[in-house]
Structure formats: C-alpha cells, structure tokens
Chain A
Amino acid sequence: MLREFIPDELITEVLSFLPVKSLMRLKCLNKSWKTLISDPAFIKLHLKRSARNKHLALFSRIQQTSYNFRVAPFRLHCLLENTSGTITVPYFPINKDRVSLNVVGSCNGLFCLVGYYHTPTYINYKKILFYLWNPATRTLSNKIKFYCENCFKWRVAFGYDNSTETYKIVVFNPESYEVSVFNFGGNNIWKNIQSFPVVLLPLDRVLASHGYRDVYAHVNDSLNWLVIREESQFVIISLDLSSETYRQLLPPQGFDKVSLVLPTLAMLMDSLCFCHDFNGTNFIIWQMKEFGVQESWIQFLKISYQDLPIVYNVCSRLPLFPLCLSENGDTLVLAWDRGKQAILYNTAEKTGYTDNCKWYGSKEYVESLVSTC
C-alpha cells in the first residue's frame, strides 16, 4: 500500500478518464467521491475527455410492431477497425407513458426523445411528450407535455445553448410557422418565440414523404434547417439558440442545379455542411468554415458514387446523410436508405464499406454524466 497520498486534483484527473459505468459504481467509495462525481464542474471535465471518443448511436425497433426502441452505441473506432462484432449492451429507455418513441437529437451525451400517442390502442393528436435521456447514467427526465392541434404536423429539434448552458427543445408548425421553445432547467415552460420566417415548402415535408423527418443541423449554438423559398431557391434558416432570433444563410455559390435528390444539411467538425448530388455521379459536401460568412464555403469532399459499396441511383431520391467524421478526418460515416445502412468511407483511399445493420436511424453520441434534471 502506498504511503503517499495522491492530492485531490490528481484524483479528479484520473477519474475524468473513467467511463460512466465505473464512475456510477465509485459513488459508493466515500462521500467526497460521491459529491465529486455529481459535481457540474467535474461533469464538464469528464465530457471534455469523453468527447475525444466519438460514438455512433444506432437505433432499432425491438420488434416490428413495438413502439419501443433500443440504442446501441458503437465506439467510432470500432466501426472503423471493422470490429463491429463487439456491440455493447444496448440501452432501452423506460417507456412508462406507453407512447411511440423517437429520437429528436443528441447532445453532450443526452438524447431528446419525443413520444407520440400513436399506438395500436390509442391515438391522441393533441399532445406530444418529450424527455431527456442519458443512457450511460440510465436516467430519464420527467416528461414534458406539449399541447397543439394535430401534433403530427409539428417539426421538432433539440439543441444546446452554451451561453446560458441550457438544453432546448424547439418545435415549429410548418403551416402556421409558429415556433415554441422549451428550456430545460429554466422555468420549464413552453415559450412562443418569433415565427419561422415565411417560406414556401420546408424541405423536410418532402423528405418526410421519403421517411426522413425532422432533418436539421445543430451547429454550435444554432439550429439550421434547409428550406425552399420562392423561385426554387434554397435557403438555410438558422435559429440562434441564445438570442432566439433567425438569420438566413445561402448555400454555396457553386451549387445551383437542383437534382432528383434533395440536398441536405449536416454538422461535421463543428461546422455547418451543405451536401448535394452532382450530376447523378457524385456526392459533394461543402463546409462553411466560418459560420455565417457566405464567402467561407469550401468544397470539402467530392465522393464518386462508384466508390461507395452500394448501388446508388439518384432516381431513388434517397439522400445520403453524413453523420460524423473521425478525429483524423480519414473516415466519414454516412447514413443511407432511411438510416438502415451505415457506410464508412475512407477519404484518403476513396473506398467505402458498409455495415449491414438493420437500424432505422443513427446519431453521433458521446458518453457523459450530464444530468437529466
């Protein structure tokens, strides 16, 4: 046994490298460890370390007819090394309210879940439930109710505002353009904010007909949607989560041809990305190097469909969704076919392979201790 004592700040540093499961267990060690592990400053430090280990969380239904789903987080580097056999134990959110659950978004280890009363025995068009779920600590927040007329029309999004350190749920009605925001840990009420700037057809309505709902990009402190304005011009509506005001951004100048496949937005390397088909032969990803600066769009990646391990035909009108990029920039993970397939594309060698998992969605995920209260 060591005679020297390790000072507290070094113990904290050691603990910050532990996975969440170990830390939950070590709350039993003594009172000061229990306090430390629940301390917001430690949780922040742990998140910083954890963010270096990106995971991809894949969702699947437990059974065809089930309204429950499970999440399996894959360590990104396991996917890259093709050691996908090592699936970790999947997580199940507890569904006490017996709603049909879906994932809105993921941020700092928390998932925002949306629950619809759309089960075989009961349909309620006027009430939606939301929850914050941390699968690593196995905690679920209290349910948040949202009342509206025809809730299935409303679009949902989830984000984090660094300036106030608040998690926010944003819902908007694509017909009336009403927008409502819920701040977690704030006064916990729904607040109407400025309406969505009037536009013609939110793209996601078209995407929804192909099975993609609620497509948006959460970039730093903003939520971004791609919409079409008059004269078929694509525009990005960006909602700043801290001021709760909008600005409109334009896609890159090099993009002007609308193809059979709709373009989409993505978040890669902490930047807003605009992704589109080119001539039915390539998939191009643009990166907005400096958020909000039109001139800062650069063409980041051009992928030939021939280099992808799938038969990609633009006539299917199914977009490819970039999900995340590995730390070293070598591997890009793309979702395709409503997220049922994950494609891993090596940017240097220009080759890809696919993981044939039967999942219906995927999001970038990091393990964290962040509280759901």
Chain B
Amino acid sequence: MAEEKSQASSSKMLTLKASDGVLFEVELNIAKEMKTVQAYIDDCEDIETIPIPNVLGKHLAIVIEYIKKTNEEYDAEFEKQWNMDDLQLLLLAANYLNISGLQECLCKAIAKRIENKSPEYVRKVFNIENDHSPEEEAKLRKEYKWAFEGVDKD
C-alpha cells in the first residue's frame, strides 16, 4: 500500500504555464527542482496548473530538459547551443525559478563568452552605458594596458 502511494506521488504530474501560454506537463520531482515552484506547491497543495509569468515557453522547455538531463557531461555541452541573448534569458529564468545548479552553469557560460572581449563588446551584451569621462577612460586604459593584450577584435 505504501509502495503504491509513493509511486503515485512520484508520477504525479503538474502543469506549468509559460508567459506565452505554452503548457508543460512535468513530473512532480522535476518541478520540485525549481524552488519557486516548490514554494508555490507548499502554499497551495491542490494546485494543478502553475503560472510562470516571467519565462517564455521556449526557455521553459530548455530549463525542464536541463533538470531532467543534468550531469557533468551534459552541462559541459549544454551552453554551446545557445546564443548570448538566450543565455541571458535562461539565466533570468533560472534565477526566477530558483534553480541554483542551472544558474551557476549559465553564469559560468556567459563569463566564458565574454572572457576575452573588449569593454565595448561587453557593454553591448548587457546593454550598459559608459559613464566614464573620456579622460577617466583614457587613464584606466593606460593603467591596464597589459590587460588589453590578446583581446578578441570586436
């Protein structure tokens, strides 16, 4: 009897609804990896459909797949498939859904992609304005001239 019960709870399905209305049926143990979802379930036990207002269907699909497949090998290859915009959106999703392993994996991936890039390139990636005065910037560039050696051309 106890066995049946545990089997039933592990195969219990939940529906997650992405921001663009796309629905995903996931097993409870997969959904629980998203601590935000876990908190939702803890608050409202009988819920069947959980709204995920900040994440598009396409990214939620990737996140769910990550949770199912994550291991050292998978993680190493995972980030290679996505462009920089998707990586950032996935990071926002992982942060909102509170999935620490995925969040770290994505931070490392983004860091790897900007590691050898110029400040101009990185500004564009994160959509950040330069508020250094021309004199300040020139002074910094001179001081850290050695750090600019070998940087990828934009």
Determine if A243 is an interface residue (Cβ-Cβ < 8 Å).
no
Determine if A17 is an interface residue (Cβ-Cβ < 8 Å).
yes
Question: In whole Å, how far is B111's beta carbon from the nearest beta carbon of chain A?
Answer: 4
Please name the residue on chain A nearest to B94 by beta carbon: A10
**Can you list, as one digit per residue, whether each of B42-54 has a CB less than 8 Å from chain A (1) or not (0)?**
0000000000000
A1 touches B124 (CB 8 A): yes
A1 touches B132 (CB 8 A): no
Determine if B62 is an interface residue (Cβ-Cβ < 8 Å).
no
B-to-A contact residues, CB < 8 Å = 84-85, 88-89, 91-92, 95, 103-104, 107-108, 110-112, 114-116, 118-119, 122-132, 137, 140-141, 144, 146-148, 151
Main secondary structure of the interface of B (DSSP, over half): helix
A21 touches B91 (CB 8 A): no
* Chain B residues with CB under 8 A of A87: none
Tell me which of A6, A21, A24, A29 contacts B123 (CB under 8 A): A29
* Chain B residues with CB under 8 A of A13: 103-104, 107
Which 10 pairs across A and B sit closest by C-beta, in order of nearness? A17-B111, A25-B147, A24-B147, A29-B119, A28-B119, A28-B140, A13-B107, A14-B107, A24-B144, A14-B110
Please name the residue on chain A nearest to B115 by beta carbon: A22
With the chains together, A10 CA to B130 CA distance in Å?
19
Question: In whole Å, how far is B99's beta carbon from the nearest beta carbon of chain A?
Answer: 13
**Can you list, as one digit per residue, whether each of A317-337 has a CB less than 8 Å from chain B (1) or not (0)?**
000000000000000000000
Determine if A138 is an interface residue (Cβ-Cβ < 8 Å).
yes
Please name the residue on chain A nearest to B117 by beta carbon: A22
- Once A13-B103, A22-B116, A31-B132 are accepted as A-B contacts, the answer to whether A6 and B111 lie under 8 Å apart by CB is no
* Chain A residues with CB under 8 A of B95: 7, 10
Interface band, chain A:
20 to 34
- Once A17-B111, A27-B144, A28-B144 are accepted as A-B contacts, the answer to whether A6 and B119 lie under 8 Å apart by CB is no
- Further 12 A-B residue pairs, CB within 8 A, beyond A5-B127, A26-B122, A29-B122: A1-B85, A1-B124, A6-B91, A6-B92, A6-B126, A18-B114, A18-B115, A22-B115, A22-B116, A25-B119, A28-B132, A138-B146
Determine if A2 is an interface residue (Cβ-Cβ < 8 Å).
yes
* Chain A residues with CB under 8 A of B88: 2, 4, 6
With the chains together, A33 CA to B144 CA distance in Å?
15
**Can you list, as one digit per residue, whether each of A250-289 has a CB less than 8 Å from chain B (1) or not (0)?**
0000000000000000000000000000000000000000
With the chains together, A6 CA to B118 CA distance in Å?
19
B123 touches A25 (CB 8 A): no
A-to-B contact residues, CB < 8 Å = 1-7, 10-11, 13-19, 21-22, 24-31, 33-34, 138
A25 touches B151 (CB 8 A): yes
With the chains together, A121 CA to B66 CA distance in Å?
66
Please name the residue on chain A nearest to B103 by beta carbon: A13
Question: In whole Å, how far is A150's beta carbon from the nearest beta carbon of chain B?
Answer: 39
With the chains together, A4 CA to B112 CA distance in Å?
21
Which of A2, A10, A11, A28 has the largest number of chain B CB atoms within 10 A?
A: A28
B129 touches A10 (CB 8 A): no
Tell me which of A5, A15, A28 contacts B137 (CB under 8 A): A28
A31 touches B131 (CB 8 A): yes
Tell me which of A10, A24, A30 contacts B91 (CB under 8 A): A10
Question: In whole Å, how far is B145's beta carbon from the nearest beta carbon of chain A?
Answer: 10
B140 touches A34 (CB 8 A): yes
Question: In whole Å, how far is B127's beta carbon from the nearest beta carbon of chain A?
Answer: 6
* Chain B residues with CB under 8 A of A16: 107
B127 touches A30 (CB 8 A): no
With the chains together, A1 CA to B88 CA distance in Å?
11
Tell me which of A3, A15, A21, A31 contacts B111 (CB under 8 A): A15
